[in-house]
Structure 1
Amino acid sequence: MFTTTTTTTEDNSSSSDWKFVVFHYVCPSLGVLISTALYMAPLRDLKRCLQKGTLGFSSTTNTTRTETTTTGSGGGAQQQQQQQQQQLNPVPWAVMNGNCLGWLIYAHLARDPFILASNLPGILVSTYLNIGASKLQYLQAMEDDKEEERKRNVQLQQQVQQQQQQQTTQTTTDIIINEDEDAASERTIMTANIAVQTKIWSSDITVTPQDKLWLQILLLWICIVVVVLWILPICFHTSRQRTKQTIGLFVNINLLFFYGAPLQTMQTVVTTRCSDSIHTPTVLLNCINAAFWAAYGIVAVHDVVVYGPNGLGLILGLIQAFLCCVYPKTTTSTTTVYPSSSSSSSSLRQPLLLETRTIDDEHTTTTTTPLVLQGTDDDDEQQQQQQQAADGTSY
């Protein structure tokens, strides 16, 4: 009897140790890795935007397939292109920076190394993302002002040309008057250029919207740190536990801005009955990440600040995954048929087909457009030589 009790106790201890390792170390460690991967997800898109100098970019996928007919002369290659226009929204990056800063403060108060490790990469990456977005917005503002300046100069030049055309039908006195008007028009152009240059260097352009939002969020967190960590403990002698709970409350309030994006996305999916706006790999990673952190918060640290927002994030992720199953994605592809090098010159003038397909799980819509490729001069000369040879053979 004593031996049986001892064996049962050892089994329970072994099971308890296994659960302790999983929930105290494995779950938060995997959460750190997945969180870092999620933070770095926008870096590739930002790199594309920086190369183009704008927040909008196009994603294109090309595939090529070669086909040959039974005669061997009508072979060709099919090139499929899938192109999608995307526009980056940099607002969540500013919120991400403030969110990571708040979690770093909370990790210090809670003495939690896993929360600290998961948010250190986040604050570095979000800082880089905000700097990149500010650069792109500044470049866009410069381009808009250059376009405005160009349009204004074109209008003024048109006015000057109209005045010069009127000079041919006027007397000498009128010509002198028109010369004075031309001088006045040139002064107007110079004044307009100076005005545009002044606007380019105004504070409306040098301080971009991303800069304003980022600085406002950082200023808000600085005020929170000063009040909660210094003023309240000195004036009201608040405990460390109370201070930690207050910071955790503000962190969760900051997270509400993150949850606004999935809610808006879900509304778009239900309205359009299409889940193209949901990035499925990101949703899956978010669900796995939230599950790890929720398990860590419930079992290991028993902290509602940890498992509360992550549990809500897990629920939102599962809802988005369900919407992806209910409303399938739509795929649009364009197929262009190009003749092979072995095809004859006459086939170059035959109408080819430009085919566009929109495919989902229920319907397939196909649009076919004739495409005519013109032959080159060498092809024309070769065709004439063949025709002359055929005429000579007929005689």
Structure 2
Amino acid sequence: LIVCSAVLMSTVAPETNMLTGGQNSPRKSEVRSGVHNAKGWMRWGWKRSPVTSEKVYRRFHLEGTQFTILGVEFDGVNVLKTIICPLIGAMLSTLLAFAPLPAIKKAKALKELTTNPAPYPAMFANAANWVVYAFVIKDPFVFIGNLPGMVMGLYYTISAFDVSKNKSHRRIVRKMIYGYALLFPVMTAVLCIIIQNDYITQLVVANFSMICLILFYGAPLVEASNVIREKCSKALDARLAACCIANALMWLIYGIALFDLALIIPNALGIVLAGFQIVLLLIYPGQCEEGGDMKHEMLEEAQKVADAVEQQLPARPE
């Protein structure tokens, strides 16, 4: 907070203060003489006492939601919505990026992945899109909050593919990575080389980022049918679901503050989808019955064998 405040205060022009909705900031002479603003509260600076004519040095003044620090006028509500909330959101996004790390470490130690790997490539694709969107809208909070997810999502994807023995899981990871590796460069090339329109670029990247974020929030629910059928939530990551709710809530507040539908819509849906995961985790235990996973795999293999045999059999005469 201190570093961000220092950067903001050093970049705000004295004539225009962006943190107070574009209101004109006081001139230095007005600040030094202690001129009151329209709301009647004193700005930071030197004030001549009406009784003793001595100078009184005001470092900080607060009235209502308005306050001054080092001569810069702030609106408390605006600062809360445009600085504090996105900064906390960036921190929560970083925590979200590291939430699956214990599950991945456990999987690498046991040489077996028990959780659903679909969120990992979805995390990488989602974070990569939001990093690009941050460049488009020039928002440092969106960039800082998604860079860790981009790096860690790629690490989780590679690790999960190495240790996963489930063929369906490996197939899901391959399809998601190949699809994103094909779609994203083509989209970027079309926008940057052919179209070359800032408004269209922002609109397309925003919508694509929304889709990827919704897929990331909904990726753990790929195993929802198995969780309900087996009455076991072993495939869901409780830590990841909790971080998703906290992260989506803070970015929803930030999106409402900016009135950016690219932030509002996917994070509102993210709260609903992550909440459904929490409900499944509360209803069903995290430990399956002994042999439950083996039975499920045996049933899948038996079904595949039956389908293969049926294809080999000659067609029956009518």
TM range (shorter): 0.5 to 0.7
1:217 to 154, 163, 180: 180
More displaced stretch, 125-134 vs 10-19:
10-19
Distance in 1 separating the partners of 2:87 and 2:275: 22
* 1:370-381 matches, cutoff 5 A: none
The answer to whether structure 1 residue 313 and structure 2 residue 270 are counterparts is yes
Identical aligned residues as a percent: 28
Distance in 1 separating the partners of 2:277 and 2:85: 23
Structure 1 unmatched ranges of 5 or more: 57-86, 145-206, 335-395
Match of 1:343 in 2: none
Match of 2:15 in 1: none
- Contact in 1 for aligned 2:123/2:153 (Cα 8 Å): yes
Match of 2:147 in 1: 120
* 1:51-200 matches, cutoff 5 A: 51-52=109-110, 54-56=111-113, 87-136=114-163
Higher-Rg member (1/2): 1
Distance in 2 separating the partners of 1:121 and 1:247: 20
- Contact in 2 for aligned 1:106/1:248 (Cα 8 Å): yes
- Contact in 2 for aligned 1:95/1:217 (Cα 8 Å): no
* 1:1-395 matches, cutoff 5 A: 6=40, 10-14=63-67, 17-52=75-110, 54-56=111-113, 87-136=114-163, 210=173, 213-233=176-196, 238=197, 240-264=198-222, 278-299=236-257, 301-322=258-279, 327=283, 329=285
Please state how far the C-alpha of 1:244 moved relative to its aligned partner.
0.6
- Contact in 2 for aligned 1:286/1:314 (Cα 8 Å): yes
Distance in 2 separating the partners of 1:218 and 1:333: 39
**Residue-by-residue CA offset, 1:277-303 (whole Å, 9 max, x unaligned):** 65444333221111111101111x221
Please state how far the C-alpha of 1:113 moved relative to its aligned partner.
0.5
- Contact in 2 for aligned 1:283/1:317 (Cα 8 Å): yes
Please state how far the C-alpha of 1:225 moved relative to its aligned partner.
0.5
- Contact in 1 for aligned 2:127/2:149 (Cα 8 Å): yes
Structure 2 unmatched ranges of 5 or more: 1-35, 42-61, 69-73, 291-318
Give TM-score, length-normalised by structure 1.
Answer: 0.49
Distance in 2 separating the partners of 1:3 and 1:225: 48
Match of 2:53 in 1: none
Please state how far the C-alpha of 1:264 moved relative to its aligned partner.
4.5
- Contact in 2 for aligned 1:294/1:306 (Cα 8 Å): yes
Q: How many residues align?
A: 229
- The Cα RMSD (Å) is 3.8
- Specify whether residues 4 and 241 from structure 1 end up closer, same or farther in structure 2 by C-alpha distance, changes over 3 A only: closer
| Larger RCO of the pair (alpha carbons < 8 Å, separation 6+) | 1
Distance in 1 separating the partners of 2:172 and 2:286: 34
| 1:88 match: secondary structure | coil
- Specify whether residues 210 and 126 from structure 1 end up closer, same or farther in structure 2 by C-alpha distance, changes over 3 A only: same
